[in-house]
Amino acid sequence: MIEARGLSKNYGTLKALDNLSLTIGPGEVFGFIGPNGAGKSTTMKILSCLLRPDAGRASVCGLDVRTRGDDVRRVLGYMPDFLGVYDDLTVDEYLQFFAAAFAIDRRRRRATIDGVLELTDLVEKKHSPVDGLSRGMQQRLGIARVLIHDPKVLLLDEPSSGLDPRARIEMRELLIELGKMGKCLMISSHILSELAEMCTCIGIIERGRLLYSGSIKEAYARVRGGERVTVRLEPGGAAAAQVAEALAGDARITRASVADQSLTIDLAPGNHGHHFLFEMLCAAGARIDAFTPEEVKLEEAFLRLTTGAVQ
Ligand SMILES: Nc1ncnc2c1ncn2[C@@H]1O[C@H](COP(=O)(O)OP(=O)(O)OP(=O)(O)O)[C@@H](O)[C@H]1O
Ligand SMILES: [Mg+2]
């Protein structure tokens, strides 16, 4: 459904995209993850015909974005990271405007708009002014807008940004619903864990380069086991540096780093039992104030696996 080969884009001397290739198949929900400035929005703008690449080619549903722009726009819905809403329009008028812009048959407009309002849970806001909607509602309106012409492919640029936890959950449910409807989705985010549950595959981008592209399952397999324990020490026992030294060399421990009176200990993959660690700490003379095991966050592990260009 989406194919990009060797895309490059420069802004002046800045390489925003560097030879980026990716493929997204039908029915896939693709999570596009990367830190600020990685090139996510640039990629999406190229795919939605708003920006010309300097090199490479891209197609949506087999249609070249450079030569078949009008046809691409018919099969694609793009929601930018910032939604420009117009003053003095109600939700309904706003959607009527886009229905007209997409040349939806007049007789079908009412039913189409009611359908997307229902799906995005905005029925009650139908007659509210758009500029008075909360951020979460505006984001849902943005999705309603790109669904008007029933596109097969949706590019959603950070649909969850700026939302509170409840609105995030609602957004996730809406995105899952769209996936179930058989839409091909490309969703960008900074936060991998936010997308992990609903995506069938992910791409990690950093400094304009795609570092990983594949299934979530494979992504987890690559970083599995990297568990971390944080230990805070009480004064009066052995110093943190001394304890770290005692832990060094044990095959079950990859790294022990020291900050003030705390230790951050990374366990080697496959080590989940913490008893051994607790015993080693005690044997080293540590007086333990707090012992906190945590799963390494997937994105953190990825950053470690990859170049580490962005901290
Ligand atoms: N119109 C522009 N002119 C100049 N530089 C730009 C322009 N648009 C983007 N850039 C630069 O290109 C790089 C990639 O930007 P892009 O917006 O694609 O990143 P992003 O992954 O979407 O980041 P964010 O998570 O902050 O939205 C950044 O370094 C950015 O500063
Ligand atoms: Mg962006």
pLDDT tens, position by position, 262-273: 999 988 877 767
Nearest CA to ligand 1 atom 28: 37
CB 16 within 8 A of CB 42: yes
Task: Report the half-sphere exposure of 93 (CA within 13 A, side-chain side).
Answer: 11
Domain boundaries, the chain: 2-222, 226-295
Q: What is the mean pLDDT of residues 81-98?
A: 86
**251 CA to centre of ligand 2 in angstroms:** 41
88: left (phi over 0), alpha (psi -120 to 50) or beta: left
CB 9 within 8 A of CB 42: yes
Q: What is the mean pLDDT of residues 160-176?
A: 87
H or E stretch covering 15: strand 14-24
* CA R_g for the chain: 24
203 lines ligand 1 (CB under 6 A): no
Contact residues for 80 (Cβ-Cβ < 8 A; gap 6+):
41, 142, 157
Region 226-295: CATH code: 3.30.70.100
Which CATH architecture best describes the domain 2-222?
3-Layer(aba) Sandwich (3.40)
40 lines ligand 1 (CB under 6 A): yes
Ligand 1 atom with least separation from CA of 12: 4
The two tokens of residue 71 are 């046809």
Instruction: Give per-residue pLDDT as tens, 10-26.
Output: 999 999 999 999 999 98
Regarding predicted confidence, which is higher, 157 or 274?
A: 157
Our measurement of the distance from residue 217's CA atom to the centroid of its chain's CA atoms, rounded to an integer in Å, reads 16
How would you class 88 by CB atoms within 10 Å of its CB: exposed for 0-12, middle for 13-18, buried for 19 or more? exposed
Output the CA torsion 55→56→59→62 (10° steps).
140
Quote the pLDDT of residue 147.
94
Quote the pLDDT of residue 62.
95
Which of the listed residues 41, 51, 156, 210 should we mutate to test ligand 1's pocket, taking the one with most ligand atoms within 8 A of CB?
A: 41
| Mean pLDDT taken over the chain | 88
In a 3-state reduction of DSSP, which class is residue 64?
Answer: strand
Amino acid making up residue 9: K
